[in-house]
Amino acid sequence: MTDISTRNGEPVASTGPATGSPATSRKARGAGRRTGVRTHLPSTPWLFLLPGFLVTGGFVLYPFLSTVGSSFTDQRTLIAGKWVGGANYQELVHDDMFWTALRNSLLYMVGVVPLLVILPLLLAMLVQNYLPGIGFFRSAFYTPVVASVVVVGLIWVWLLDDRGLVNAVLGVIGVGPVSFLSDQWLLLISAMLVTVWKGLGYYMIVYMAALGNVPRELHEACAVDGAGPVRRFFTVTVPAVRSTMVLVGALASVNAFKVFSEVYLMAGPNGGPGGEDTTLVMLIKQVGTGLTGRVGYASALSVVVFVITLGLMLLVLRADRKEDA
């Protein structure tokens, strides 16, 4: 890090004070990124990163290495494991439950993510500008996020029950009763809706912070040009929050893929009738927790979940970088 990179051949000084006028700033910004002026001591970044590394390394990454290790053993909660090589991974491939769980986790992601990328953005726009009482609405919309999942589960089970409020309403218009809570697919869809419902406020916040960055002048300029709200949304708002959308998409995908609570609470600890709604994380818990847990096999499942989510994340980040360039 001691050398000054001059890959694009621009003299170092040009990234400095010459960035005053708006006309040159764009170019200079790109240049500043690439030239990598030495603006700090070599040790500085590591000092900034040290606390974060200590915590995540010591309490997350290191323990996970032991998970990886035990995925090659037949360890149980209270019984030491012995090396079994790839036996757990082999078993997994032949385990119907694993494939069911993988299918459900993937379906969950596909169902939930588009909604969680778009709806919270619209919600954030709805509460973005000042109106009398808007603070109340903003806080209120955040309620589902902060309530514990257990409570949320209870409430929704009650609402979606054969004799719940939703079916009562459907009954009035002559539909139903729809057995949301006993059909394999309806259960999964209900759980997805709860996830979306609970996640709206969460991602709304992320978007709210990002929308604050959209220069108001831009909106006004477009409005003066006669662009309607829909066009302004696509030409001004979306490009401005695009990187946030990517972030939200990535987070929502990973969270959806690792869904546990919603399905657990709606479909029961077994994961729906006959376990047909089990997700991967539910399976990990079923298999691995408790005093009789098969820690080795559960570790193998965890490693698989980890690898898949890592793949997803890298895919999203890569797509983002490509568009960026």
Partner 1 sequence: MRISRRAATATAIAITSALVMTACGGSGGSSGSNSDASGKVEGTVKFQTWNLKTNFKDYFEGVIGDFEKKYPDVKIVWIDQPAEGYADKLSADAAANTLPDVVNVSPDLATPLAKAGLALNLDQAAAKYKDEYLDGAWKSHEMPGKEGTYAFPWYLNTGPMFYNKKLFKDAGLDPEKPPTSYDQLFKDALTMADKSKGKTAMLANAPAVEDFGRYGVKLMNDDMSKFTFNEPKGVELVEKYKELYDAKALDSGALTSVAESAGRKFQQQSIAMNPGGAGDLKKYKTEAPSLYKNIGITPAVNNTGKDNMYVQGLMVNSQSKVKPAAVEFAHWVTDAKNQMAFAHKVAIFPSTKGSLDDPYFSQDGGTDEGRVRVAAAKALKTAVNYTPAVFSEQMKTALKNEVAKAMQGKKSAKEALDDAAAECDKLLQQAG
Partner 2 sequence: MKSRIKARFQADGGRRPPVWQLVLRYLLLLAVFAVLVGPFLWQLSTSLKGPAEDIYSYPPKLLPSDPTLDNYAKVADLIPVWDFALNSLKVAVANVLTNCVGAALAGYALARLKFKGRGIAMVAFVTAMLVPVESIIIAQFMTMRDLQLNNTLTGVVLPGCIGALNVLLMRNAFANIPYEIEEAAYCDGANAWQRFTRIALPAVKGTIAVVAIFSFMGAWDDFLWPLIVLSDQSKFTLTIGLDYLHGTFANNQRLVAAGTVIAVAPLIVLFACLQRYFFRGVGEGAVKG
Residues 233-292 that bind partner 1 (CB under 8 A): 267-270, 272-275, 286-287, 289-292
- With CB under 8 A as the contact rule, which of the stretches 19-27, 62-70, 168-176, 224-232 interacts with partner 1? 62-70
**Which residues does residue 73 pair with via DSSP β-bridges, in sequence order?**
83
Q: Which of 101, 117, 157, 206 binds partner 1 (CB under 8 A)?
A: 157
Render 58-104 in DSSP notation, one character per residue: IIIIHHHHHHHHHTTB--BTTB---B-TTHHHHHHHT-HHHHHHHHH
Q: Residues near 253 by Cβ (< 8 Å), separated by ≥ 6?
A: 109, 113, 312, 313, 316
The sign one gets for the Cα dihedral 193, 197, 202, 205 is positive
# of chain residues touching partner 1 (CB under 8 A): 44
Q: Which does 239 bind (CB under 5 to 8 A by kind): partner 1, partner 2, none?
A: none
Q: How far is the CB of 252 from partner 2 (least distance, A)?
A: 12
Q: Which of 110, 175, 238, 310 binds partner 2 (CB under 8 A)?
A: 310
Nearest one of 230, 290, 263, 304 to 107, comparing CA atoms: 263
In the region spanning residues 248 to 287, those forming contacts with partner 2, defined by CB under 8 A, are: 251, 254, 258, 281, 284-285
Q: Is 176 in the site for partner 1 (CB under 8 A)?
A: no
How many angstroms separate the first and last alpha carbons of the chain?
24
Binding mask 91-130 for partner 1 (x = CB under 8 A): ----------------------------------------
Distance in Å, CB of 258 to partner 1, minimum: 18
Q: DSSP string spanning 110-160? A: HHHHHHHHHHHHHHHHHTTS--TTHHHHHHHHTHHHHS-HHHHHHHHHHHH
The one segment of 65-73, 193-201, 211-219, 300-308 that binds partner 1 by CB under 8 A: 65-73
- Interface residue with partner 2, options 79, 82, 90, 146 (CB under 8 A): 146
Residue 125's nearest CA partner among 245, 249, 256 is 245
Contacts of 14 (CB under 8 A, 6+ apart): 28, 31
The answer to whether 29 contacts partner 2 (rule: CB under 8 A) is: yes
CA 11 to mean position of chain CA atoms? 41
289 is a site residue for partner 2 (CB under 8 A): yes
Near partner 2 by CB under 8 A, which window of 82-90, 97-105, 246-254, 270-278? Answer: 246-254
How many helices and strands, by DSSP H and E, does the chain display?
17, 0
| 137 contacts partner 1 (rule: CB under 8 A) | no
Site string for partner 2, 38-67 (x = CB under 8 A): -xxxx-xxx-xx-xxx-xxxxxxx-xx-xx
Question: Rule CB under 8 A: which residues touch partner 1?
Answer: 62, 65-70, 72-81, 83, 157-158, 161-163, 179, 181-182, 187, 267-270, 272-275, 286-287, 289-295
